[in-house]
Amino acid sequence: IIIDQPDRYQPACHLSAHDQLALEDREEDELRLLHPWQRQSYPLEWWSLTAVRQIGAVIKTAEGVAQLRDAIHPSDLATIVYISGEQGRPKGVMLSHGAIASNILSAFRVYPNLGTGDTEVALSFLPLTHIFARSFIYGHLAYGHSIYFSSPNRVVRYLKQVQPTIFITVPRFLEKVHSKIIERGQRLRGWQRWVFGWALALAKRYELGKRPQGWYGFQMQLADLFVFTKWRSPFGSRLKALISGGAALSAPVSNMLSAAGLPIQQGYGLTETSGVLCYGRGDWNRAGSVGPPIPGVQLSIADDGEVLVKSPGLMQGYSLNPSYLLPAPQESHPFSDPWLFQVPTDLSPSTPNIDAGGWLHTGDLGRLSDDGSLQITGVKKSMFKLTTGKYISAAALETAVKQSPLVVEAIAVGANRKFCAMLIWPNFNTLKQQVQLMDLHIPPTALMHHPCVMALYQTLVDTANCHLPTWSTVKRFVLMETPLSVGNYHVLEPNQRRPFHELTYLQRAEILAQCSREIDDLYAPIHPQWGQEGELAVSATDCSLPAFTCPVSAQSLVQH
């Protein structure tokens, strides 16, 4: 624990997570780290930042640095990065020093006109617990760039102050910028409103990677002079790389902001590949594409459309031994103890998604264009990413909701959206019986939209959301009235229950395509049944329904 003020403490990294680690504040004012798998806790020592720097100055001698270099081999394990698993339990991705270094240095080497030293200034607000942000930091260190760190709440303020040349972000940040531009333009009046609308129409016509020509090009120059300069002013005047990763950035947002002169580039990669696989650069930078692979990366498309990868940056495997989340308690000084630089030898790695030929099966669907650029077209795995870059474990949410007899099927949605939502197919027979028990007289045509019925299903969703981080919970749902079918046959007959794994990813893709209107309605800014933050207008309490209860103690809730 690093103490920055005498009356406050803050973790040096994020420690508390679902079913992982928790902080316990004992009565004797001793802060301990709880490890649920080992069923024991570890005392945490308190250090001031000044003390940490003093210890570092003692260790960082020429002899000490040389010993560290000699002790590290490229194949040695460098880090274990924990990511979401398909069933909601985290997986530890084991990455070596060589994998991380080769990946990010290869990505930096092919970036056009990338300088060294303090000619490049990077600003980052992304968490270093994610490989996307961490690998870029390693690259900036290797190139000697100046690096500034901020938080999501302060990054806009520091963009103008720092004037970065390189800024990495997630799509959600750019979506907010896009929404703020539209919102401010709608508040204008008179000729300013007309000019804004004219410039917005031009920006919507723009295609990233194509230079405007003729009359359209001349109008774009005028729009840049009167409007676009204001759109890009919050990013400063030196920005030459605005890199979006972690999830897909929609083409309309990418094109509109690029029209305003923001140098947007998209990339694609996985934690299992040490970060970067592809990114748009130069003539390959186009909306809807993540660009060609970086040197050393091989891509292939399987018969079913899945993206396969070979790369020096591939993981060693998934750690299946959770006991190595924490080292054994040490009696000696932690900053001089050798366990900080030693790697356990029995981490029991597992590589279920790397085949005998050495190809990593990414779980993403895509296609390769004639010039070698990759386009991501969908997902095969039962997880998807929000525009915040966070993974959602769909299977865990769906299984929890389907445990109720009121539900026939549930499908979580939200790939490349700002939050997770769900399509729910009710069991009509059971629902009608429940309505009778509640002594509600609801005509059949109004059953699916009645506030008390919605509140009844909200309790099921709340149960599925229990213990999950806020960003991974289901914010909105819709009760589907049409039968769940694919092609000319029913996947589910009325009131027939079916486990998740019997729906193939192809069936799910077709179902989602059929339900596209309902899905779009769930993400409408103004929804008749949902508040701005996704809260139902009527609660279970208002309808005299059983209150939502969670099978944990109050103390456990505090710890989580």
pLDDT tens for residues 419-447? 999 999 998 888 888 888 888 788 777 78
Structure tokens at 80: 């274990």
Selection from 154, 156, 175, 168 nearest residue 123 by Cα: 168
pLDDT confidence of residue 30: 45
pLDDT confidence of residue 558: 30
pLDDT confidence of residue 500: 42
pLDDT category, 192, cuts 50, 70, 90?
A: very high
Tell me, yes or no, whether 370 lies in a domain: no
Tell me, yes or no, whether 371 lies in a domain: no
For 92-154, give the secondary structure using H, E and C: EEEEEHHHHHHHHHHHHHCCCCCCCHHHCEEEECCCCCCHHHHHHHHHHHHHCCEEEECCCCC
Contacts of 242 (CB under 8 A, 6+ apart): 167, 169, 235, 262, 263, 264, 265
User: Do residues 414 and 335 share a domain?
Assistant: no
Q: Report strand pairing: 278-279 vs 317-319.
A: unpaired
pLDDT confidence of residue 335: 39
User: Do residues 186 and 322 share a domain?
Assistant: no
- CA 317 from centre of chain: 21
User: Do residues 394 and 503 share a domain?
Assistant: yes
Span 30-51, average pLDDT: 56
Tell me, yes or no, whether 97 lies in a domain: no
Residue 337 confidence (pLDDT) above 70: no
Does residue 559 sit in helix, strand or coil? helix
Does residue 350 sit in helix, strand or coil? strand
pTM: 0.70
Specify the DSSP class assigned to residue 352.
T
527 or 452: which leads in pLDDT:
452
297 or 558: which leads in pLDDT:
297
Q: Report strand pairing: 121-124 vs 278-279.
A: unpaired
Cβ atoms of 167 and 159 within 8 Å: the answer is yes
Tell me, yes or no, whether 354 lies in a domain: no
Residue 491 CB neighbours (<10 A): 20
Task: Among 222-236, 347-361, 499-513, name the most confident range.
Answer: 222-236
Residue 30 CB neighbours (<10 A): 11
User: Do residues 402 and 268 share a domain?
Assistant: no
What is the percentage of the chain residues whose pLDDT exceeds 70? 76
pLDDT confidence of residue 140: 95
For 223-289, give the secondary structure using H, E and C: HHHHHHHHHHHHHCCCCCEEEECCCCCCHHHHHHHHHCCCCEEEEECCHHHCCCCEECCHHHCCCCC
Tell me, yes or no, whether 347 lies in a domain: no
Residue 187 confidence (pLDDT) above 50: yes
Does residue 510 sit in helix, strand or coil? helix
pLDDT tens track for 43-87: 556 677 788 888 788 777 888 888 888 888 999 999 999 887 776
Phi, psi at 208, each rounded to 5°: -60, 130
Tell me, yes or no, whether 207 lies in a domain: yes
35 or 89: which leads in pLDDT:
89
- CA-to-CA separations, 175 to 61, 221, 257, 388, 415, in angstroms, rounded: 47, 24, 10, 10, 14
Residue 551 confidence (pLDDT) above 60: no
Measured CA to CA, the distance from residue 440 to residue 431 in angstroms comes to 12
pLDDT tens track for 226-276: 999 999 999 999 999 999 988 888 888 999 999 999 999 999 999 999 989
- Over the chain, what is the mean pLDDT? 78
Residue 381 CB neighbours (<10 A): 18
pLDDT category, 529, cuts 50, 70, 90?
A: low
Does residue 41 sit in helix, strand or coil? strand
Residue 348 confidence (pLDDT) above 60: no
Residue 215 confidence (pLDDT) above 50: yes
Strand ordering across the sheet containing 407-413: 407-413, 420-426, 474-479
Angle between helices 97-109 and 131-143 (to 10 degrees): 70
pLDDT confidence of residue 550: 38
What is the percentage of the chain residues whose pLDDT exceeds 90? 37
Tell me, yes or no, whether 32 lies in a domain: yes
User: Do residues 28 and 137 share a domain?
Assistant: no
Residue 373 CB neighbours (<10 A): 20
As beta bridge partners, residue 490 has: 485
Q: Report strand pairing: 8-10 vs 2-5.
A: antiparallel
pLDDT confidence of residue 31: 46
User: Do residues 140 and 251 share a domain?
Assistant: yes
- CA 245 from centre of chain: 9
Selection from 125, 120, 109 nearest residue 166 by Cα: 120
**Which CATH number covers residue 492?**
3.30.300.30
Residue 560 confidence (pLDDT) above 50: no
User: Do residues 7 and 55 share a domain?
Assistant: yes
User: Do residues 60 and 134 share a domain?
Assistant: no
Q: Residue written as tokens 């590589």?
A: 351
User: Do residues 417 and 491 share a domain?
Assistant: yes
Domain count of the chain? 3
Selection from 363, 484, 466 nearest residue 423 by Cα: 484
Residue 101 confidence (pLDDT) above 90: yes
Residue type, position 195, single letter: V
pLDDT category, 541, cuts 50, 70, 90?
A: very low
Selection from 235, 243, 244, 241 nearest residue 159 by Cα: 235
User: Do residues 12 and 153 share a domain?
Assistant: no
The region of weakest confidence among 12-16, 212-216, 284-288, 543-547 is 12-16
Q: Is 56 exposed, middle or buried (0-12, 13-18, 19+ CB in 10 A)?
A: exposed
Specify the DSSP class assigned to residue 404.
S
Residue-wise burial string across 239-253, b where 16 or more C-beta atoms lie within 10 A, e elsewhere: bebbbbbbbbbbeeb
pLDDT confidence of residue 145: 96
pLDDT confidence of residue 238: 94
pLDDT confidence of residue 464: 87
User: Do residues 113 and 8 share a domain?
Assistant: no
How many residues in total does the chain contain? 560
Tell me, yes or no, whether 374 lies in a domain: no
pLDDT tens track for 368-395: 998 899 998 888 877 888 888 787 888 8
Residue 350 confidence (pLDDT) above 80: no
The region of weakest confidence among 98-107, 265-274, 535-544 is 535-544
pLDDT confidence of residue 277: 94
Q: Is the dihedral of CA 519, 525, 531, 533 positive or negative?
A: positive
pLDDT confidence of residue 12: 39
Residue 199 CB neighbours (<10 A): 23
pLDDT confidence of residue 483: 77
Contacts of 321 (CB under 8 A, 6+ apart): 344, 346, 347, 348
Selection from 359, 381, 344 nearest residue 314 by Cα: 359
User: Do residues 515 and 554 share a domain?
Assistant: yes
Span 15-26, average pLDDT: 40
pLDDT confidence of residue 197: 94
pLDDT tens track for 304-330: 889 999 999 999 988 864 434 433 334
Q: Which range of residues forms the domain containing residue 322?
A: 2-71+318-342
